[in-house]
A and B are shown apart, each in its own frame.
Chain A
């Protein structure tokens, strides 16, 4: 990922007329060093640009650069800067006041005889945060294609964004052009590139539209590659986001982040990984949901027909704790090269905790977890819904210490979850719900219908089950996408 640029200095597209040949000085009145050197500026035969006050320095013909276009074009970091240009290219530069260098550059032997030998300069106004936004918009605003909406003066910003139907009910960050441009600096992809065609209305979402929704959600620019990959995954055919929305079941798209990007941008895989308090976790999944809502048109009460829904539908995102897990990462099992960053988007309900503080053998603990997993959807329905088991560090340690790897654990779970027909039949156990006339054992989960990820704080013999939705072609399959920019 490229470094996130928050000023336009690295990306200026304007090219005002700066002299092709000769000496150029850039100053600002609000700088003691510039005021110190003001008396000598008339002796240089230089073109003088002033960043803040066109009347400074007095008595010298200056060019007004209060819009900073020339300063940006010249790449000014410090004022005063004296530079020599030859044939349209810069051949020498002095930053701050350095008498010997200025004399050498200007060829004026007695330049500044009354001045001290050396005095450092001040920061260029191009680095002033107060003007950075305006400069950014001037330099790159033309890249933005989205409709500009004016919020009227009497509208409260948070109320106005809610009233336009752009939010999930929580306040959002106003997607102003500077914020969206800063967000777009988080990716190398072009703003007009189409990321995905978003259900349910099948609307193409550009990188820019995703960035706007990422701003709404509260993302930082460095999260954008994850959001883009997650949007792409959520819009994949096999994920079936339209079906997931339209079902009365309450699951929604959840985002699991794999690989080094998770640590780099701060996706929590430790304590409270499924909870609140970590910005990346709280906003990445929310950005995906806002894209589906705003671009795709998937809104509760319209296409979204959930009977109850669940709080994870605001956005659910966490990472596998690959660093502390004794096991091969889930992403590798799913075909991602070791060390690569990726996302897996899966249909998820809210998490349900599983207590087992007693089991010290892997056999016992596996049976505990299997019993808990059986409850996904309904204990008498199999196979049906997919699920994700989030195994806590204290639980995975029980398996690791006994020499069980991921494959042995999941194979054992599958065996324990092969459910006998007499327990599944409609009417069995006095419950009318169940399988119609089962004659053979049924696996609780289809093949690949159960994913296991390791996450959570160091203390607590508690894991969690994230129930899903109907797995496979008739429902939704988890989708993994490598984050190419990571």
Chain B
């Protein structure tokens, strides 16, 4: 369903894309802290367990987090915790 849109005029020199973009990424994960965010759907933990092993083998420090429910955005305190502790986040597994 299309949601109503607000049109605004670009205040910049228009050298960057108008759409939101994701931010810069590290070159690789060695030495980085990677947060694995489990959205709390069945079987997702098994997938993340394996991913944790694979990332650890590649020199990343893995930290595990879990959302209380997959039906809502994560709570503010969880967001703050992840933001304080991680360089990179992998959220899984939605099906």
- Whether the pair B9, A164 counts as a contact (CB closer than 8 A) is no
- Whether the pair A147, B13 counts as a contact (CB closer than 8 A) is no
20 contacts between A and B (CB under 8 A): A144-B9, A146-B9, A148-B7, A148-B9, A150-B5, A150-B6, A152-B3, A153-B4, A153-B5, A161-B8, A166-B11, A174-B8, A175-B9, A176-B9, A177-B9, A201-B13, A203-B13, A208-B9, A212-B9, A295-B13
Give the interface SS of chain A, mostly helix, strand, loop or mixed.
mixed
Whether B27 sits at the interface, judged by CB under 8 Å, is no
| Complex interface bits, A425-443 against B, C-beta within 8 A gives 1, otherwise 0 | 0000000000000000000
Whether A308 sits at the interface, judged by CB under 8 Å, is no
Identity of the chain B residue whose Cβ is nearest the Cβ of A202 in the assembled complex:
B13
> Number of B residues whose C-beta is below 8 Å from A?
15
- Chain A residues whose CB sits within 8 angstroms of the CB of B3 once the complex forms: 152-154
Whether A294 sits at the interface, judged by CB under 8 Å, is yes
- Whether the pair B10, A147 counts as a contact (CB closer than 8 A) is yes
- Chain A residues whose CB sits within 8 angstroms of the CB of B20 once the complex forms: 160, 163-164
Whether A149 sits at the interface, judged by CB under 8 Å, is yes
For window 128-151 of chain A, which residues contact chain B by CB distance below 8 Å? 144, 146-151
| Complex interface bits, A190-205 against B, C-beta within 8 A gives 1, otherwise 0 | 0000000000010100
- Chain B residues whose CB sits within 8 angstroms of the CB of A297 once the complex forms: 13
- Whether the pair B10, A212 counts as a contact (CB closer than 8 A) is yes
A151-B11 contact in complex given A163-B20, A164-B20, C-beta closer than 8 Å: no
Whether A216 sits at the interface, judged by CB under 8 Å, is yes
- Chain B residues whose CB sits within 8 angstroms of the CB of A147 once the complex forms: 9-10, 14, 18
Whether A180 sits at the interface, judged by CB under 8 Å, is yes
| Complex interface bits, A289-312 against B, C-beta within 8 A gives 1, otherwise 0 | 010001111000000000000000
Give the interface SS of chain B, mostly helix, strand, loop or mixed.
loop
- Whether the pair B7, A150 counts as a contact (CB closer than 8 A) is yes
- Whether the pair A149, B4 counts as a contact (CB closer than 8 A) is no
- Chain B residues whose CB sits within 8 angstroms of the CB of A290 once the complex forms: 11
- Whether the pair A146, B10 counts as a contact (CB closer than 8 A) is yes
Identity of the chain B residue whose Cβ is nearest the Cβ of A167 in the assembled complex:
B11
Whether A64 sits at the interface, judged by CB under 8 Å, is no
- Chain A residues whose CB sits within 8 angstroms of the CB of B2 once the complex forms: 153
- Whether the pair B6, A148 counts as a contact (CB closer than 8 A) is no
Taking Cβ atoms with an 8 Å cutoff, the residues of A that contact B are 144, 146-154, 157, 160-161, 163-164, 166, 174-177, 180, 201, 203, 208-209, 212-213, 216, 290, 294-297
Known: A148-B8, A150-B7. 7 other contacts (CB 8 A): A149-B9, A151-B5, A161-B8, A166-B11, A174-B6, A176-B8, A295-B11
- Whether the pair B11, A209 counts as a contact (CB closer than 8 A) is yes
Which one of B13, B14, B18 has the greatest number of beta carbons of chain A within 10 Å?
B13
Q: How many Å from the CB of B19 to the closest CB on chain A? A: 8
Q: How many Å from the CB of A235 to the closest CB on chain B? A: 14
How many angstroms between the C-alpha atoms of A166 and B13 in the bound complex? 11
- Chain B residues whose CB sits within 8 angstroms of the CB of A150 once the complex forms: 5-7
Q: How many Å from the CB of B37 to the closest CB on chain A? A: 20
For window 53-77 of chain B, which residues contact chain A by CB distance below 8 Å? none
Which one of A149, A163, A290, A294 has the greatest number of beta carbons of chain B within 10 Å?
A149
How many angstroms between the C-alpha atoms of A180 and B11 in the bound complex? 11
- Whether the pair A149, B7 counts as a contact (CB closer than 8 A) is yes
- Whether the pair A149, B13 counts as a contact (CB closer than 8 A) is no
How many angstroms between the C-alpha atoms of A335 and B12 in the bound complex? 34
